[in-house]
Chain A
Amino acid sequence: MYSQGLQDAKGGPEPEGLLKAFQKRIDNEEKIEPRDWMPEAYRKTLIRQMSQHAHSEIVGQLPEGNWITRAPTLKRKMILLAKVQDEAGHGLYIYSATETLGITRDEMTRQLLSGEAKYSSIFNYPTPSWADMGAIGWLVDGAAIMNQVPLCRASYGPYARSMIRICKEESFHQRQGYDIMTVLARGTAAQKKMAQDALNRTWWPALMMFGPSDKDSKHSAQSMQWKIKRFTNDDLRQKFVDATVPQAEHLGLTIPDKDLKWNEDRGHYDFGEIDWQEFMEVIKGNGPCNKQRLRARQKAHDEGEWVRKAAEVYQQKQQDAA
């Protein structure tokens, strides 16, 4: 049964009656709001999932921020700035929603900087060429949309509401990425090669974004029951592959997977096995850019300290003067 073995905040068993009523609300598609009773494990799972999500938005600014000063035109620079600013906004929407579960912003920041909290593995890959901005928008934001659209119906109200805002903004991100890829793919031979190289680099890490295969995903069943997850990792990954392959073909680009083939019987594309060992290594902190990303966050946090202090002193002065 769903409630078996669930423990409350003090390690005792959760009251059976409350658990039943809680699950009934969720089964009826009612939203759970911050001050409602909820099982401790639901709260913890949400804090883990939502803070990881928020951290991903924040760290996700770094690979793209890398190209703001070197964007090829003023138009591209303005677009990229707006996108990176959106990512900061998305991080803030989700941090604010996560705080309603009783964790402070400071604690979440501490967990990110200490490496206790994870963020999406994709942001630990480097972005050596301008075409990576295209591949990220098209594939990484594309994969994020696949993940986030079902979360607009997540059972926790503040999470679902922040997802609705985010999804509205995210589709610009994907389109501007595909637009970059389109221009490169239709450009000179060298530009087309840039686009192909970026696709080669990003394809597999983008597929990994959906998380471990269902047979190895330890959180899935309970999260589905609680409706903080609506589709399994493998289902979403398949949806993404099916949607993306024709987009690559349209640009004359080749997906770097020799096993990729339309399967008439299934009505889906078959695709090759993901290198799960690489995925686990990146999660553990051994990806190409893990250290660099955390160092950049730490530096921003340290260098922003005087601003936070100044704001507080200013506020105190205003109060004293009043």
Chain B
Amino acid sequence: MKLYEVFIRAKSGLNHRHVGSLHAADAQMALQNARDVYTRREEGVSIWVVEAAAISASNPEQSEEWFDPAMDKVYRYPTFYPLDKEVDNM
């Protein structure tokens, strides 16, 4: 059996969100099992299953190089630009 990752959309308008994984012989079986395992109480209106082997993931050991540069670009945030009191919100 293959490992599938399961993603569920809680209601329309929201993103699919990872909820866990399960084993199945094929995608159809994975969907059916995901329905039984992860949506017994109206947790979702849509299910995606993806073979775990098909997912490429970033390396946590490179987290600093990958994600820290965003920290010193403070000019990307609106709070970087002070406004005169008279203008107040923008």
Contacts and interface: CB of A to CB of B under 8 A. Distances in A.
Interface of A: 33, 35-37, 82, 85-86, 89, 92-93, 96-97, 99, 105, 158, 161-162, 165, 168-169, 308, 311-312, 314-315, 318
B61 to A, nearest CB: 7
B50 interface: no
A99 B3 contact: yes
Given A85-B40, A318-B26, A308 B60 contact: no
B45 interface: no
Nearest to B26: A315
B64 to A, nearest CB: 12
B26 A105 contact: no
B59 interface: yes
B23 interface: yes
Contact of B22 (A92, A168, A311): A92
A308 B24 CA distance: 9
Nearest to B21: A96
B1 A312 contact: yes
Nearest to B63: A36
Interface string B39-71: 011000000000000000101110000000000
B29 interface: yes
Contacts of B38: 89
Interface residues of B, number: 20
B22 to A, nearest CB: 6
A148 to B, nearest CB: 16
22 contacts: A35-B57, A36-B60, A37-B60, A37-B61, A85-B36, A85-B40, A89-B36, A89-B40, A92-B37, A96-B22, A105-B23, A158-B20, A162-B20, A165-B19, A168-B41, A169-B40, A169-B41, A308-B25, A311-B1, A311-B24, A315-B25, A315-B26
For the complex of A and B, 4 pairs with smallest distance between CB atoms: A311-B25, A315-B25, A315-B26, A96-B21
Contacts of B3: 99
Given A89-B37, A315-B25, A96 B60 contact: no
B30 to A, nearest CB: 11
A309 to B, nearest CB: 10
B16 to A, nearest CB: 16
Given A92-B20, A312-B25, 17 more contacts: A33-B60, A82-B40, A85-B36, A89-B36, A89-B38, A89-B40, A93-B37, A96-B20, A97-B20, A99-B21, A161-B20, A169-B41, A308-B1, A311-B24, A311-B26, A314-B26, A315-B25
